[in-house]
Amino acid sequence: MTTNHPELTDQTIALTDTCLEGLTHMQSQLEQGLHEASLRLYCNVLEAVVQVEASVNLVLKEEEEEGQLDRWAEVRDQLNARLAEMADSFQAYRWNDILPQLQRVLPEFKIWQQTVYEYMSPKFLV
């Protein structure tokens, strides 16, 4: 995979960093009461997460690492469940729920991001 798609690897890892920056900025927006702005940023983060997950899925499928697929599914599903909770709150205009939910998303995101780093690193892909 690294020899065939080095740009994908670099872009995927960079995109996870951008997602974390977005989530951190969302926290600041929510603390300032900028709920609509945080919703737009949340949507951008979701789109980026989907792209990252598609890249990781491609890598794992090509590498055919069955145990890794199970671990990835668990980490991915944990983050997605937290993000879905936030989506529900945004949809219901439960603004007071979103910041505490985001604070629960951040640790899950960091685990997800570290897993992406591991799977997209050349050491894993060789």
Tens of pLDDT, residues 22-50 = 999 999 999 999 999 999 999 999 999 99
- The residues, any chain, with a CB within 8 Å of residue 21's CB and separated by 6 or more, are none
pLDDT digits (tens, 9 = 90+) for 63-89: 766 677 889 999 999 999 999 999 999
- The residues, any chain, with a CB within 8 Å of residue 68's CB and separated by 6 or more, are 60, 119
Query: How many angstroms separate the CA atoms of 12 and 38, rounded?
Result: 23
Residue ranges in the chain assigned as alpha helix (H): 6-31, 35-63, 66-91, 95-120, 122-125
Question: What fold characterizes domain 6-121?
Answer: Four Helix Bundle (Hemerythrin (Met), subunit A) (1.20.120)
Query: How many angstroms separate the CA atoms of 109 and 92, rounded?
Result: 23
Could you tell me the maximum CA-CA distance found in the chain, to the nearest angstrom?
47
Domain ranges of the chain: 6-121
